[in-house]
Amino acid sequence: MTSKFNKKNDFTTGNIPQKLVQFMLPILGALILQAMYGAVDIMIVGKFGTTAGISGVSTGGNIVNLVIFAISGLSMGITVLIARYLGEQHAERIGKLVGGTVCFFSIVSLVLTVLLPVFARPLAILMKAPEEALDLTVTYIRICGGGIFFVIAYNVISGIFRGLGDSVMPLVFVAIACVVNILGDLLFVAVFHMNVAGAALATILAQAVSVVLSLLIIRKKKLPFTIKKNDFSLNSEVKKFVRIGAPISFQGILTDFSFLALCAFINNLGLDASSGYGVASKIGAFIMLVPSSLMQSMASFVSQNVGAGREDRATQAMFTGMGIGCTIGVFIALLSFFHGSVLASFFSNDSAVIARAWEYMRGFSSEAVVTSILFSFMGYFNGHAQTAFVMMQGIAQTFLVRLPVSWFMSIQPDASLTMIGLAAPTATVFGILINSIFFVQCKRRAASVKIK
């Protein structure tokens, strides 16, 4: 590694809040732009397409997002390992890890490219897509499934750079994709009136352009590791990152599954409720950006310090992240609770859809605060490779709280989307309790080991 790289991306020394924020801001920027994919799709389809099209993009997007969450979880294993190797001063092991990563995800991409288009209709039916939006949902899944390679490639490349302590390059990659996506949506949906098909084509085209340009940029960028031909194989590093990433992936799948189930519950309430939830879920994606950026930042930050034996800095980083997230979250929660109709109006002209979206947001809005605490905990434990625990607490949240509460609220007479929306923050508070107990136990075990 060059000294310049060490100084800029070394999290084991220096001011923790300053370094955490500097690393987090580009990740937040990248997540904001990434969220604009779905938001722009919904917005332009809502303005130039149909109400059924909003439901089709929302339901189909939720299914595609399930795949993305799974891939992002696996790539977190790569991020944690790379950061750990840097903290341990073993950068020479990164080349083999990256080579194995390329081979593994190439196989995964090939399998998904076949499965998603083939099972698009059964998935849409399973999601209880409204009859008016069923074919549109199938179209969205098939087009995105056919180009899933580029979606996976982007997430893997970004995971590698975050592990290296570089959060700027993923921001550059997604900025490129966001511009292409907006232009594509305007062309295919607003000009050619392709509705859902146009939105899906724009999304995949944007990801393809981003991946191609990112590879060209990487070729000219000086990296702190070298990679050889024989590194490109399903080597021993694959098993390591899968062991770390698989629980994160599974936990992400469960979380997204709960929202898929929630989408299915709400789809039973009619087209306005389905489309309103589709709009609200896009607003919710923006609400979750700060907590998500905290979790991703925390994993890299903590892992480097664990590798360097700086447990004190890892703990301080976690509490710093909680403070930052909650401070910002309060303002976001108040905005979405009191002015949710204004936010929803950016995505649809239909007054009924706007009203239903705001109805859901009033219940969901507190998630902006409590998730910042939960995700800081999760990033801390991911950085320690305690991913099995992260998975188990995710299972507990999903099956003990989020799904039962949302289902129960959805079957009430004149079911309120506000009460259904409360299922998410309720589950999050339950998760905070579990994580707090585990954190205290870990600290006590560490203290007893030192005494001995």
Q: Kindly state whether residue 6 falls inside one of the protein's structural domains.
A: no
- Average of pLDDT values for 70-90? 87
Q: Kindly state whether residue 43 falls inside one of the protein's structural domains.
A: yes
Position with higher pLDDT, 217 vs 118: 118
Q: Which residues contact 183 (CB under 8 A, 6 or more apart)?
A: 202
Task: Judge whether residue 104 has pLDDT over 50.
Answer: yes
Least confident range of 19-23, 94-98, 413-417: 413-417
Q: Kindly state whether residue 305 falls inside one of the protein's structural domains.
A: yes
Number of domains within the chain: 1
pLDDT of residue 28: 87
Q: Kindly state whether residue 265 falls inside one of the protein's structural domains.
A: yes
* CB-based burial label for 448 (10 Å; 0-12, 13-18, 19+): exposed
- Average of pLDDT values for 68-89? 86
Q: Kindly state whether residue 312 falls inside one of the protein's structural domains.
A: yes
Q: Kindly state whether residue 63 falls inside one of the protein's structural domains.
A: yes
Radius of gyration of the chain, Cα coordinates, nearest whole angstrom: 21
pLDDT of residue 5: 47
Read off the pLDDT of residues 294-347 as tens digits, 9 standing for 90 and up.
888 898 899 889 888 899 999 999 999 999 999 999 999 999 999 888 888 887
Per the structure, the complete domain to which residue 105 belongs is given by: 23-451
pLDDT of residue 38: 65
Q: Kindly state whether residue 7 falls inside one of the protein's structural domains.
A: no
Token look-up 């189930």 returns: 261
Task: Judge whether residue 256 has pLDDT over 90.
Answer: no
The mean predicted confidence, pLDDT, of the chain is 87
pLDDT of residue 449: 62
Task: Judge whether residue 445 has pLDDT over 90.
Answer: no
pLDDT of residue 402: 86
Q: Kindly state whether residue 345 falls inside one of the protein's structural domains.
A: yes
What is the number of alpha carbons within 13 Å of residue 338 lying toward its C-beta?
Answer: 6
